[in-house]
Amino acid sequence: GENVEQHPSTLSVQEGDSAVIKCTYSDSASNYFPWYKQELGKGPQLIIDIRSNVGEKKDQRIAVTLNKTAKHFSLHITETQPEDSAVYFCAAYTGNQFYFGTGTSLTVIP
């Protein structure tokens, strides 16, 4: 089955700096890649997603890039703010199932 690896597991950045989280996947048939933000005590919130026919997608301060050849995709957060602090999960969809990364705990230091 699919294997999704996510790095780093923890990330601290100064407010205003950029944050990058990377995920790799193993199954070339994976065709949908969402990113989730999970705050303490809440369910994962979909923040951005990308399909395999697109290389990059941007939504305000958040962007996702996909490299199908290398089988990796990344989340980019620019101009980070303290409210960006949370755990972020990547996922890859193949067949009829999602496979999740192990999560990145992002801390934005004011």
Partner 1 sequence: SAVISQKPSRDICQRGTSLTIQCQVDSQVTMMFWYRQQPGQSLTLIATANQGSEATYESGFVIDKFPISRPNLTFSTLTVSNMSPEDSSIYLCSADRGSYGYTFGSGTRLTVV
Sites of contact with partner 1 (CB under 8 A): 32, 34, 36, 41-46, 49, 89, 91, 93, 96-98, 100-103
Tokens 């990308």 identify what position?
A: 50
Q: Which of 41/110 has CB closer to partner 1? A: 41
Q: How far is the CB of 16 from partner 1 (least distance, A)?
A: 27
Q: How far is the CB of 84 from partner 1 (least distance, A)?
A: 19
**Which of 100, 102, 89, 93 is CA-nearest to residue 45?**
89
Q: Which of 1/110 has CB closer to partner 1? A: 1
Joined tokens for residue 86: 């949370």
**Which of 27, 63, 71, 34 is CA-nearest to residue 51?**
34
